[in-house]
Structure 1
Amino acid sequence: MRLDALFEDLESQFDALQEGDLYGEVADRIRAEVAKFTVLDRLRGAVGTVIRVELTHAEPVQGELARVGKDCLLLEAERSEEWLIPAAALTAVHGLGPWAEPAEGAVAAKLGLAHLLRGIARDRSPVTLFGVGHPVTGTIDRVGADFLEIAEHPLDAPRRRTEVYNNRLVPTQTLTAVRRR
């Protein structure tokens, strides 16, 4: 009888050690996988949800996360506003779930801030730039590799030569956000 109790005790200790080892191994693997995630991977996992972002040189923005590029994100906010935000301008993000997703496909991995700015320039949409001192309004005329040129004019006026009061070159690294209505 004593030997039976001893064997049962040893078996239960062995089972507990195996469970502990398995738990530790799983936890280590999870930590190793999470260490591979980037901010953009975490944001891709939240596409379609409402988030709030804090920015370096602008007020926080809240909206539905519509798209995540290779170096930026697009939020759809109230009043039909779209916010194009460089990832480098983020200081905090609120409202993310526990998910993360890597970039899908070669094309999605290449679509970034400059590509989306060129689309806005092609649409001739009036915008407000943030992060360049005070907010600047106008129409983006050109987008280079690391800059954009904006024809400054009031948002409620179309881009006409008579309405443009300044042409400004802005390095894209200084942008905090671009708002399009």
Structure 2
Amino acid sequence: MLGQRDDAVRWELLFGDLEAQAEAVGVAERAGEVAERTRIEIGKLALIDRMSGALGSIVRLHCLGGGVVAGCLVRVHAEWVLVKDRSATEAIVATQSLATVSGLPRLSAHRQAGVVESRLGLRHALRAVARDRAAVDVFLTDWTSQRGTIDRVAADFIEVATHSVGQLRRPADVRDVLAVPLRALSVVRRAELAP
């Protein structure tokens, strides 16, 4: 009788051990599955998705040719973002010119652009600036810059009427009109005008 009880206990321990091993394998498989699904989801995440999670946050954008643009991230679109610095100066940054971005939250969700937002490309933002007739500093990806007013926005370029620092655009003050390919555009920042 005692031998049967010992055998039963051994079998119980053996089955308990097998169940624990099976549970450990199941936990490891689920953890591996979760990790793989996480990698797949992160693989679908675009930089613009990460930036959307930072709306209203202070960010630092290192831009090819435009230096560093730091401030509150106000708008995020596929082709451009809008940043407002401490002095409320706004800058449109072409997303194609981004080298690095800091200040993003740890987690972000994949976003779906709305119909209206998907239509608001870089050209639309630049047309709004052109309509405003604001003096701007245009920074290019080759590290050069021009000050002037955006006169026209075409299919793949803008025309910038260059004029003196601190002046509004007047025909007599225009020194040159430059055609700037959109692919060369890094940052467009509202210029500080002289008092």
Structure 1 residue 154 displacement after superposition: 2.4
Equivalent residue for 2:48, pick from 37, 40, 49: 40
The correspondence of residues 57-76 of structure 1 with structure 2, limited to 5 A, is 57-76=65-84
- Equivalent residue of 2:19, what SS? helix
The 3 A distance-change label for structure 1 pair 101 and 64 is farther
- Deviation by residue 1:43-78 (Cα, 9 ceiling, x = unmatched): 111111111011111221111111111211111112
The 3 A distance-change label for structure 1 pair 129 and 104 is same
In structure 1, what is the Cα distance between the partners aligned to 2:167 and 2:184?
A: 26
- Equivalent residue of 1:29, what SS? helix
Equivalent residue for 2:178, pick from 146, 168, 171: 168
Q: Structure 1 residue runs of 4+, over 3 Å off? A: none
Given the alignment of the two structures, is residue 85 of structure 1 paired with residue 93 of structure 2, yes or no? yes
Normalising by structure 1, we get a TM-score of: 0.95
Aligned to 1:122: 131
In structure 1, what is the Cα distance between the partners aligned to 2:112 and 2:130?
A: 25
Equivalent residue for 2:61, pick from 39, 53, 56: 53
Provide the aligned length of Structure 1 versus Structure 2: 181
- 1:21 is matched by which residue type in structure 2? E
- Equivalent residue of 1:5, what SS? helix
In structure 2, what is the Cα distance between the partners aligned to 1:27 and 1:164?
A: 59
Which region of structure 1 is more displaced relative to structure 2, 94-103 or 3-12?
94-103
In structure 1, what is the Cα distance between the partners aligned to 2:143 and 2:27?
A: 58
- 1:170 is matched by which residue type in structure 2? V
In structure 2, what is the Cα distance between the partners aligned to 1:54 and 1:100?
A: 23
- Deviation by residue 1:98-129 (Cα, 9 ceiling, x = unmatched): 21342331111221110000000011111000
Aligned to 1:17: 25
State the identity %: 38
Equivalent residue for 1:108, pick from 71, 92, 117: 117
Instruction: Give unmatched runs, 5+ long, in structure 2.
Output: 1-8
Instruction: Give unmatched runs, 5+ long, in structure 1.
Output: none
The CA RMSD over aligned residues, in Å, is 1.3
Conserved in 1, the CA contact under 8 Å of 2:59 and 2:102? yes
Structure 1 residue 41 displacement after superposition: 1.2
Q: State the structure with more CA Rg.
A: 2
Structure 1 residue 133 displacement after superposition: 5.0
Normalising by structure 2, we get a TM-score of: 0.88
- 2:32 is matched by which residue type in structure 1? G
- 2:66 is matched by which residue type in structure 1? A
Structure 1 residue 152 displacement after superposition: 0.8
- Equivalent residue of 1:176, what SS? strand
- Equivalent residue of 1:21, what SS? helix
